Amino acid sequence: MRDAGYTIRSMAERCGMTAHTLRYYERVGLIQPVGRARNGHRRYSEADEAWLNFLHCMRATNMSIREMQKYAALRAQGDSTSLQRRKLLEEHQTGIAEKIAELQKAHDLLSHKIANYKAVEDRTRIGGPRLVEPEEHTELATAS
């Protein structure tokens, strides 16, 4: 037991998480059981903080809890798993790149549609003929 260290509340604040999240991470095995003070309250160390900051960053990349659990299990096995951990991160990065490409495609489609509506509004304002929304790009047209 140790009375030194950070309380769950102070650690949550330091890492930008909630106390509930810290308890959950411990329950699902993302963090090892945390040391306890004589009164039974959790006491987090500097090493705990560094790991929690890493986990917080991984959640910010939209890494799933399941992927984080895989990473944590590999980390617990030591340096011999660095290649597997790197590959896990690379796979996650590839997934993010694919999502970015999908979002860029959606963004392009919306930009095209917005430009069409602006053209219709401009022509309507100046009394020109009404423009029916052209669908000159079949790829864009099928996505609408």
The pLDDT tens digits for 23-53 are: 999 999 999 889 999 999 999 999 999 999 9
Q: List C-alpha distances in Å: 135 to 77, 114, 138.
A: 56, 13, 7
Interatomic CA distance for residues 95 and 101, integer angstroms? 10
Give the predicted TM-score (pTM) of the model. 0.74
Interatomic CA distance for residues 96 and 91, integer angstroms? 9
SS3 label, residue 44: strand
The pLDDT tens digits for 43-99 are: 999 999 999 999 999 999 999 999 999 999 999 999 999 999 999 999 999 999 999
